[in-house]
Amino acid sequence: MKVHIKSFGCQMNKLDTNLVCSALKSAGHEITDDISFADVVLLNTCSVREHAEQRVMSHLGNLKNIRQKSKPEMIVVVFGCMAQRIPDELLKHPAVDVVCGPGQIPQIPQLISMAAKTRRPAISVAEDIRSRPADVQIQNLDDFEYENDAAAPALPRQAFVRIMHGCNKFCTYCIVPYVRGPEISRPPETIIRQIKKIASGGVRQITLLGQTVNSYKYTAGDKTYNLADLLAMASEIEGIEWIRFVTGHPNNFGDEIFKAMANLPKVCRYLHIPAQSGSDKILKAMNRGYTRSEYIGLVERARSIVPDIAIAGDLIVGFSGETEKDYFETVELVEQVRYKNCFVFKYSPRPGTRADEKLADDVPDEVKKQRNIHLLEVQKQISQQDNRRFIGQTVKVMVEGTSGKAHLNKAGQDPLPQMIGRTAGDYIVVFNGESCLAGEFVNVKIEKTSALTLFGRMV
């Protein structure tokens, strides 16, 4: 059958989508980008923000119309976090045939086959999401990842490797622990074997993934492995040139991780470390487990060990009880930390979280919007100022492909297309070059900068 798949949300979801695509190809199905040709449509869903779920429901409405008007036999599968959160509600939707949780994705090829034969609705989700899965299920997930992992389709010679599942942090605003389950670290030998396999297939950059990647811990015999150990082991693999990891939590960052970044040439000196707020009052209400001063101390410690580290952050504005004073403490945090870039989100309560149950969503939407716009402008000014230091420098870039915004920094009569890539510090670089450079490393001399992009010429 022809299969169309659409993914919402984080890198973890993108990885799940790649794995499912690979598994479906192995089962004999054909992946299509054109939904009008599809016999099967899969939606990989996200529940972190309300907007993500609204987009899924909008897509399901469109699929309902398609089935009614022209393709009554089309099979629709909803999987991922939203499927785990509201499985029964989704299965009642007239467009949905199969609902599958993120921990059950190895079953998707079989579920599609059964739906095609029986035309009966099917559901496979964790009954008790906070209980540790059975060993056989954990092994099935490990085998599924190893067998189906490969380079990301849109990013030549790059791949994502999951090192752990789930989250135990229980931030009051976050739905992830209730849809992804408890923290479970994968065996290091399995992870390294998987990286070796994809490296032999030509992958040159890997990104280690975890909801709180720096919480990785696995005990085998008398040895307990942590993230720093994985970075060292992965650095020894022939063919791999760059190693990244996301996303970290401000807790559980020992100096050994920063020392690995400083001492291992293959480990990219980039750290994505969400603060979420600069107010101690709000951090406590969020159950983040650290104070403003502790977060700043972490950043200073990282920069003292890895002087050229690039740091990105996440922030939420308009959380329950956030006053003007609380907000401007967040502004001051951004100005003090001086992030490379920062993702800013307006708070939206998620059903089933502690904040939704116990805290009032008492900041008006218009105030949230104003704070969002203002904080992004503060960060934009910082990025514009700090990025100017790159002018005249030559940076190493891994090329991702043709730039989607080729109108930026037009190169006069240069006939070559504009290419886009990233530095080891995750800075976006645009330059003119051959399209065949996708997946290669090149050197680019920076001639112009903006808040989000470095522009240059290949040297």
Residue pLDDT, tens place only, 228-239: 999 999 999 999
Per-residue pLDDT, averaged over 166-180, amounts to 97
How many Cα atoms sit within 13 Å of 357 on the Cβ side? 6
Helix (H/G/I), strand (E/B), else coil: 443: strand
DSSP tally for the chain: helices H, then strands E: 15, 21
Pick from 232, 318, 228, 220: nearest CA to 277: 318
- CATH 2.40.50.140 location in the chain: 391-458
107: DSSP letter? G
> How would residue 408 be classed by pLDDT, with cut points 50, 70 and 90?
low
Which among 3, 104, 10, 2 has a CA at the least distance from the CA of 48? 10
- pLDDT value for 92: 96
Would you say how long the chain is, in residues?
Answer: 459
Q: Which two tokens stand for residue 426?
A: 């995750």
Of all helices (H) and strands (E), which one includes residue 136?
helix 135-148
- What confidence tier does 189 reach under pLDDT thresholds 50, 70, 90? very high
> pLDDT, tens digit, for every residue of 294-317?
999 999 999 999 999 999 999 999
> What is the per-residue pLDDT for 365?
97
Provide the greatest CA pair distance for the chain.
64
88: buried, middle or exposed (CB in 10 Å: 19+, 13-18, 0-12)? exposed
pLDDT (average), residues 32-54 = 95
Q: Which of 153, 44, 51, 57 is nearest to 101 (CA)?
A: 44
* Class of domain 2-124 as given by CATH: alpha beta
- The angle that helices 365-387 and 324-337 make with each other, rounded to 10 degrees, is 20
pLDDT digits (tens, 9 = 90+) for 68-87: 999 999 999 999 999 999 99
Distance between start and end Cα atoms, the chain? 46
Residue 414 — very low, low, confident or very high, per pLDDT cuts 50/70/90? confident
Q: Which fold has domain 391-458?
A: OB fold (Dihydrolipoamide Acetyltransferase, E2P) (2.40.50)
Mean pLDDT of 153-181: 95
Helix axes 255-263, 292-305, angle to 10 degrees: 30
Whole-angstrom CA distances from 334 to 98, 328, 376 are 44, 10, 10
Confidence band of 397 (pLDDT split at 50, 70, 90): very high
**pLDDT score recorded for residue 406:** 63
User: CATH 3.80.30.20 region(s) of the chain?
Assistant: 135-388
Res 379 pLDDT > 90: yes
Of the candidates 97, 92, 120, 112, which has an alpha carbon nearest to the alpha carbon of residue 20?
Answer: 112
Burial tier of 58 (Cβ tally within 10 Å: 0-12, 13-18, 19+): exposed
13, 176 contact by CB (below 8 A): no
Rounded average pLDDT over 149-174: 91
Domain 135-388 is classified in which CATH homologous superfamily?
tm_1862 like domain (3.80.30.20)
Confidence band of 409 (pLDDT split at 50, 70, 90):
low
Q: How many whole angstroms separate alpha carbon 356 and alpha carbon 285?
A: 12
Q: What is the pTM of this model?
A: 0.94
210 pLDDT above the threshold of 70 = yes
Q: Give the pLDDT of residue 198.
A: 95
Interaxial angle between packed helices 227-235 and 188-200, expressed in degrees from 0 to 180 and rounded to the nearest 10: 30
Confidence at 415, pLDDT banded by 50, 70, 90:
confident
**pLDDT for 154:** 78
Peptide bond into 247 cis (omega under 30): yes
What residue spans in the chain does CATH classification 3.40.50.12160 cover?
2-124
Exposure of 112 in the CB half-sphere (CA atoms within 13 A): 27
pLDDT number for residue 410: 56
**Residue 182, SS3 per DSSP:** coil
Residue 188 near residue 162 (C-beta atoms within 8 A): no
Q: What is the mean pLDDT of residues 158-186?
A: 97
Confidence of residue 412 (pLDDT cuts 50, 70, 90): low
The confidence score (pLDDT) of residue 252 equals 86
Q: Which residues pair with 315 in a beta bridge?
A: 276, 344
List, in sequence order, every beta strand (DSSP E) within 81-157.
98-100, 122-124
DSSP line for 310-331: EEEEEEEES-TT--HHHHHHHH
Neighbours of 392 (CB within 10 A): 10
Residue 107 CA to residue 104 CA, distance in Å, equals 6
Q: What is the pLDDT of residue 150?
A: 76
Q: Is the pLDDT of residue 413 over 70?
A: no
| Beta-bridge partners for 161 | 208
